[in-house]
Amino acid sequence: MADKFVINGGHALTGSVDVTGAKNAAVAILPAAILARGVCVIENLPRIADVLIIRDILMELGARTEYDDNGTLTVDTTHLDSSHATSELCKRLRASYYFIGALLARFGEAETALPGGCAIGERPIDQHIKGWEAMGAKVSVEYGKIRAEAPNGLKGCDIYMDLVSVGATINIMLAAVHAQGVTTIVNAAKEPHVVDVANFLLCMGAKIKGAGTDIIRITGVPRLHGCNYAVIPDQIETGTLMIAAAATRGDVTLHNVIPRHLDALTAKLLEMGVIVEEGADYLRVRTEGRPHAVRIKTMPYPGFPTDLQQPATVLLSTAEGASMITESIFEQRFKHIHEIRRMGADITIEDKVAVVHGVPRLTGTSVRATDLRAGAALIVAGLMADGTTEIHNIKYIDRGYDHIEDKLNSLGADISRVKEEADEREFY
Ligand code: EPZ
């Protein structure tokens, strides 16, 4: 039976909570462990479904793993006995495509099932393929599988990305660690999790310069070794909790964070009239009145993160005035708006732009998550709404937020996880 969240809204969030490790770093670092040919101990992993799926794919490939429930995974990839990750598991998340880059570097060939992931747009992988082919791999996509082979190894070269892609930047970096010579990725993504993957590879003995800038240089080396590594705090979980604090007119301090990863959101919250105080590893968010309306345009890092657009839309749904939100990264990332309209939001959508006319309050009702961050947005809506909100399809939320209801209840929310009734399934 599926679960749903039941939220009794209207409680201001107050107090402090620790943020956990970054999902989008973890789901790339675990496949990268294939390159170690030894033992890696990876700490501060978020306890989420996506990490468990990646762990299971590693085991299918022959890795030995031990996972304790405080988020540490020990993985031994000495005796990997396959370069084919073709099980159904690959279709359950986008990040399964990182196995191609890692397996291609280690074995000179790789095959995975086509990736899944949130339905927020077409999400092609042409830039990944462009990078691998530029290094000399032969890539085919047929019968629902991606196959890449480079029997004579890969050769470093200059790769000019047609657009900024987090996944393609990471996947090309993974493939390049053993390439002959230097691979230069121009117009590389600069997200914190791209830098985290590069730092993990450096810990294993890779030669990488420029991660975090738009030009990354990877010099191929013959072998990498195991290492111990701790994943960075989750930029998007941090941002989601900051938005929830502001939306409930609360006063929340988030610990174990890297404040500068949130600079774009902090700047927008300050524009809204929200008070944000930052320390070395914490952020405090508090507010009294309704936020002011603002304009937001999602951009690659260090711009406003597309993964925070959906929760931010909900925050602005009760702002004073009309806000304008442009989603410039994905084509279909406004599905949450249909759901929060049922809660009283007044939002019009014109292609990539949503105009959010602030209303005094939202009211609780039954809604359903359509993707991971839409689910997070509905949690924010339920927390700030008058009355009770039921969120269905929370399997999406469990993919990317580590025990989110426990964190929120420790801040004074009233959110519970309940088994859905049999007949509810047919509607959601
Ligand atoms: C990563 O997805 C994240 N997922 C996404 O987070 C995040 O929204 C996205 O980066 C942008 O920050 C993971 O890290 C697992 P992209 P990714 O390649 O790598 C187009 C979440 O909620 N594109 O940077 O798939 C693409 O269609 C998830 O945690 C191509 O056209 O994103 C999109 O419009 C959702 N060709 C844009 O580029 C390609 O080959 C950015 O995509 C690759 C991408």
Global confidence as pTM: 0.97
What is the percent of the chain with per-residue pLDDT over 90, rounded to a whole number?
93
Residue 332 pLDDT more than 90? yes
**Which atom number of ligand 1 is nearest to the Cα of residue 372?**
22
The alpha carbon of residue 149 and the mean position of all alpha carbons in its chain are separated, in whole angstroms, by 28
Find the 139 Cα to ligand 1 centroid distance in Å: 20
Task: Give the per-residue pLDDT at 426.
Answer: 58
Residue 230 pLDDT more than 70? yes
Two tokens, residue 135: 């290094």
Task: Give the per-residue pLDDT at 389.
Answer: 98
Dump pLDDT digits (tens) for 16-28.
999 999 999 999 9
Choose one of 92, 170, 329, 396 to mutate for the ligand 1 pocket test, by most ligand atoms within 8 angstroms of C-beta.
329
- Measured distance CA(111)–CA(86) in Å, rounded: 7
Higher pLDDT, 152 or 288: 152
Two tokens, residue 109: 């060939």
| Helix ranges restricted to H, 115-157 | 126-134
DSSP 325: E
Task: Give the per-residue pLDDT at 427.
Answer: 57
What is the arithmetic mean of pLDDT over 308-315? 98
Distinct helix (H) and strand (E) counts, the chain = 13, 24
Find the 5 Cα to ligand 1 centroid distance in Å: 27
Token look-up 């675990």 returns 30
Residue 428 pLDDT more than 90? no
Mean pLDDT for the chain overall: 96
Task: Give the per-residue pLDDT at 288.
Answer: 78
Q: List residues near ligand 1 (CB under 6 A).
A: 23-24, 27, 94-95, 118, 121-128, 163, 165-168, 189, 191, 306-307, 329-330, 372-373, 400
In which band, very low, low, confident or very high, does the pLDDT at 424 lie, cut at 50, 70 and 90? low
DSSP 65: E
Residue 422 pLDDT more than 80? no
What is the arithmetic mean of pLDDT over 175-183? 98
